[in-house]
């Protein structure tokens, strides 16, 4: 997981932060990339499509 993302607005590297959020009544704590400057965070495609459970299993396998 060496993917570096940049904030489109600020042009600074995003930092991984643990975020708690609710998704369809399920509370999730997950590290997602956040902009340290403007606080914008980026939810990846799997999360956006509600496949976070599969994504977390992949992470734990490693």
Contact between 42 and Zn ion per CB under 5 A? no
How far CA 52 is from CA of 7, 30, 37, 39, in Å, comes to: 22, 9, 26, 22
Q: Which of 16, 26, 38, 59 contacts Zn ion by CB under 5 A?
A: 38
Minimal distance, residue 3 CB to Zn ion, in Å: 17
The smaller minimum CB distance to Zn ion, of residues 12 and 54, is found at 12
Contact between 10 and Zn ion per CB under 5 A? yes
For tokens 């994504």, the residue is: 55
Q: Following CA atoms 34, 20, 49, 38 in sequence, which dihedral angle do they give, to the nearest 10 degrees?
A: -20
What residues make contact with Zn ion under the rule CB under 5 A? Answer: 7, 9-10, 35, 37-38, 40
């Amino acid at each position: 997981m060496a993917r570096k993302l940049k904030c489109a607005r600020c042009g600074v590297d995003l930092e991984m932060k643990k975020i708690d959020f609710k998704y369809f009544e399920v509370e999730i704590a997950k590290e997602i990339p956040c902009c340290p400057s403007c606080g914008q965070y980026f939810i990846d495609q799997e999360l956006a499509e509600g496949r976070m459970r599969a994504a977390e299993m992949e992470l734990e396998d490693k």
